[in-house]
Amino acid sequence: MAENFVDRWVAPEIRLLGRSVCAFRACGYTGLTSAFLVAAGLVICQGLSLLVLTYITLGACLTFLLLAAATKVVTGEEQLIYYHHEVAIVSVSALLLRILHQPVLPYLDVTILGLGMFLACGRMGCLMVGCCHGRPSEWGIRYRAEHAAAGFPHYLVGVRLFPIQAVESLAVFCTVIVGSVFVLKGDPPGTALAWYVAAYGSARFCFEFARGDTDRPYLRGFSEAQWTSMLLMTGVLWAELIGFLPFQVWHFWVGATLIVIMLGVTVCRRFTSTSKYRLLHPRHVEEVANTLQALSDGSTLSGSARLHKASGAPMRVVRTSLGIQVSSSRIRIDRTWINQYCLSREAGTLTEDSAKVLARLVLQLRHLCGAHELIKGQWNVFHLLVRAPDSASNGVDDLAHDRNPASYRSPI
């Protein structure tokens, strides 16, 4: 019930003062206002100049617009990448403060906290329109066709996605609150700046594992944002070691922990037999979704997935870039309709764990909620059997027994 309410609440456009406005822009303007109010309050409490803050705000807005325009020229599409804007705005603000002969660190403290408030509101805008979305999950947000019309991936319409945008928004909001406490307590200038970079960077590094959008670069299996988090954390530690920022020993341990996590994840991905990371990578999820759609409606595949006829049988078989082969059929046993998906690997062996991962993904992408069972058949082919909604409850068990009495059954 709660999930259905949230699904209806999330919309790309909202009613505001009797008018329909873009939810993302509304959250952006709210974030800009909130950012200035938070920064202004902290400036007043420290006895700093509101006029200087106004200059910083105007410089930040101009930097934001120029960077967004430059990114659109280079990439050919509008992209708002938070880390790019954070680095650019902080750098421009520091340069402006030098030109104005103002103390740099006190103003950078309030600037970074203002950016945090802007981000917290902006991520709620992302939640509303569906950008920066999470991965398929048992619990989460289901976006609709109106979101796809506004740019949301069509293959994820109706699929529950983990609301990572809301989680990040809450985390950033809490980070801003703690950073504001540091400023109001009179901690040394730069403490809030270092706190925000370290706290948000470590959180963002972890949040990236739950992100499901495909149009982001990866290097060695880690996203651009994760590498940026590591670089900024290293920069903070270096600034503390040379005395530019107040030294905090816990920053060293946070940085070391991120390195250990990165190394541990790399080792696990390299030696695990399930290849779960590759199977559930956002780009492979897109491939699987497109292949399932092609099997359903007979459409032409795009991207890395390939379609071919199975030899000796009029069955369409889809092969992804990872060599995963998928075919589907709908069969009837007595009065029971069963949706059958066959999963195998073109080269090598499809492990049981990998088959379970793929089976869950198929259930999520095809919105299948009937009784289901995963069966290992001959030639290392796994059969995912899903009872159609209008079929008898024992249909799956009957089919599994009739088709292959000696088959291996595995709960998903």
Who's near 52: CB < 8 A, 6+ residues apart? 97, 100, 102, 107
Tokens of 339: 């949706």
- Which residues are registered as beta bridge partners of 309? 316
How much is the pLDDT for 306?
46
Q: Tokens 């922990």 identify what position?
A: 257
Who's near 173: CB < 8 A, 6+ residues apart? 116, 117, 120
SS3 at position 99: helix
How much is the pLDDT for 307?
42
Q: Are the beta carbons of 89 and 67 closer than 8 angstroms?
A: no
How much is the pLDDT for 107?
95
- pTM (predicted TM-score): 0.83
Strands 372-376 and 316-319: unpaired
How much is the pLDDT for 410?
46
SS3 at position 217: coil
Q: Alpha-carbon distance 384 to 404, whole Å?
A: 13
pLDDT digits (tens, 9 = 90+) for 46-92: 999 999 999 999 999 999 999 989 988 887 777 888 999 999 999 99
Radius of gyration in angstroms for the set of CA atoms belonging to the chain, rounded to a whole number: 25
- Looking at 313-381, which runs of residues are DSSP E strands? 316-319, 324-333, 336-345, 372-376
How much is the pLDDT for 189?
94
CA distances to 37, 71, 241, 356 from 238, rounded to whole Å, are: 31, 29, 5, 45
How much is the pLDDT for 158?
87
Mean pLDDT per 10-residue segment, the chain (412 residues): 66 80 89 95 94 95 92 82 93 95 94 96 92 88 88 88 95 96 94 95 94 87 92 92 89 90 87 76 88 69 44 62 84 77 83 87 82 82 80 44 42 48
How much is the pLDDT for 319?
82
Tokens of 221: 């299996």
